[in-house]
Amino acid sequence: MADGADPTPGALLDAPVHEQACALRAGAVTARALAEATLARVRAQEPALHAYITLTPELALAAAEAADQRLRRGDAAPLTGIPIAVKDLLSTCDAETTAGSAMLRGFRPIVDCTVVARLRAAGAVMVGKANLDEFAMGSSTEYSAYGSTRNPWDLERVPGGSSGGSAATVAAGGVPLALGTDTGGSIRQPAALCGILGLKPTYGRVSRFGVIAFASSLEQVGPFARDAEDLGLLLGAIAGHDPLDATTAPLPVPDYTADLARGIEGLRVGVPRELLGEGLEPGVREAVEAALAQLAALGARIDRDVSLPSVGASLPVYYLIAPSEASANLARYDGVKYGYSAHDGPGMWDDMEQTRDRGFGDEVKRRIMIGTYALSAGYYDAYYLKAQKVRTLIRREFEAALATHDLLLTPTTPGVAFRLGEKLGDPLAMYLSDLFTLPVNIAGLPAASIPCGFAEGLPVGMQLIGRAFEESTILRAAHAYATVTDWHLRRPGAVAAAAMPS
């Protein structure tokens, strides 16, 4: 903690996690006091922001008391006593897990998902379950059965999605860290629209055990934070092989904060021309171009002669594979085993039909129908199988580009945060919000969104894409960029104004 800094809980709420941790270890503040201050701020923001489906104050204070005991014993981990929000797609045995759907209203899992268990073991303090698009299917957090989350920079705009609640509460200063999931951009896109950092790890770096499934071959759990060091701390706490998830890689987890200060002199950064072309809002293009110039000034070698010829097919590939997997994963919601169950039909099959009709929202139904059609007899080869073949081409093109470059750089989103309701009647326009992010999920690579400017008074993010399991390079570049810019330090005022007593 900096000399002369105010160690009171209220003052610490806006400090980076590593400073909060120093204050906790020094005994300048208790974990309980920090949790109480965090809960007070979150409650003040919630009427305007609606970032949470469920707040868990009793659980938070109990976890904070346990963290204080660990701190007194001197066996604290880096996140001991640190408040955190968890996307309500992650199973928690002591709190409702809804996936943003009426189908799971009141559902209480019997176990924690692995990432939540690891956070509890690290001594982190969960303050609540963050809002999301239903079953993580959306790009605006407007498809939640529990109401829309709002962007803290402009309460009439979306925060992005599907992890919009997680991004919004971090951006508003409610909590310093949050977990989301990313299937086609659901961490990076809301991070960009809310002006914070968000990272999708390599597929297989973080366990998916206990995560409510959407598209199993695409999704990963990942962190939100306000700077690269905090992002690395949270990633380090949740990453690693899990015997309960066969897709996790049996690789050691590095210290993601160890090389942050190395700088980026000589780092090779490629700019795929297909992902810096048509469809970009002028303000976004200007901010990304300025970021490229700043990275070059820091010593990075920028190469604009990079091509990913098949990346233009990413949108149709994604919207065949993801809905197909969703149709299989969501078949389990039949009203028999758990979740909502209708019982007013003349027979079992009628009850099942009514369960799904009432329990699922329109966007979820749309994707189930697309996926079921793509997997049906006579269409499997023409659609799903062909999409998987193109997926292989896209992955190989990324691997070839990254064989000669350390990172690839693109905009995170085509535009800034759009207005609430603006795209609800146009699913294709909504899907295009993830145009630059979903190719990375198809390739299974790590990527992060980093704040790089403003357009129309709203945040803009740039996307850094790395080689498989080289998240450290992304974080090092993000940290270097942050040392000469202050975009990540900007804070929204809309929520603070709305929370003020009249």
Sign, Cα dihedral of 319, 288, 305, 267: negative
Catalytic residue flag (residue 324):
no
Which of 374, 380, 367 lies closest to 330 in space, CA to CA?
A: 367
The two three-digit tokens of residue 28, written as one number? 């300048």
For residue 162, say if its preceding peptide bond is cis, omega within 30 degrees of 0. Answer: yes
From the candidates 166, 186, 324, 472, which is the catalytic residue? Answer: 186
Which of 302, 220, 265, 212 lies closest to 471 in space, CA to CA?
A: 220
DSSP 8-state code for residue 383: I
CB atoms within 10 A of CB 40: 14
Please, is 95 exposed, middle or buried when counting C-beta atoms within 10 Å of its C-beta (0-12, 13-18, 19+)?
Answer: buried
Q: Compute the C-alpha angle 340/344/348, nearest 5°.
A: 80
From the candidates 87, 129, 200, 423, which is the catalytic residue? Answer: 87
d(CA 267, CA 57): 45
CB atoms within 10 A of CB 366: 14
Catalytic residue flag (residue 314):
no
d(CA 386, CA 154): 42
d(CA 306, CA 402): 10
Which of 435, 431, 392, 394 lies closest to 307 in space, CA to CA?
A: 394
Please, is 347 exposed, middle or buried when counting C-beta atoms within 10 Å of its C-beta (0-12, 13-18, 19+)?
Answer: exposed
From the candidates 91, 101, 148, 162, which is the catalytic residue? Answer: 162
End-to-end Cα separation, the chain, in angstroms: 35
Do 279 and 291 meet the contact criterion of CB atoms below 8 Å apart?
no
CA 150 to chain centre: 16
d(CA 323, CA 366): 9
d(CA 476, CA 243): 30
Task: Show contacts of 107-110: CB within 8 Å, 24+ apart.
Answer: 107/338, 107/339, 109/210
CA 409 to chain centre: 19
d(CA 357, CA 123): 41
Give the CB-side neighbour count of residue 249, counting CA atoms within 13 A.
Answer: 14
Catalytic residue flag (residue 148):
no
DSSP assignment of 275-325 equals GSSTT--HHHHHHHHHHHHHHHHTT-EEEEEE--TTGGGHHHHHHHHHHHH
Active site residues: 87, 162, 186
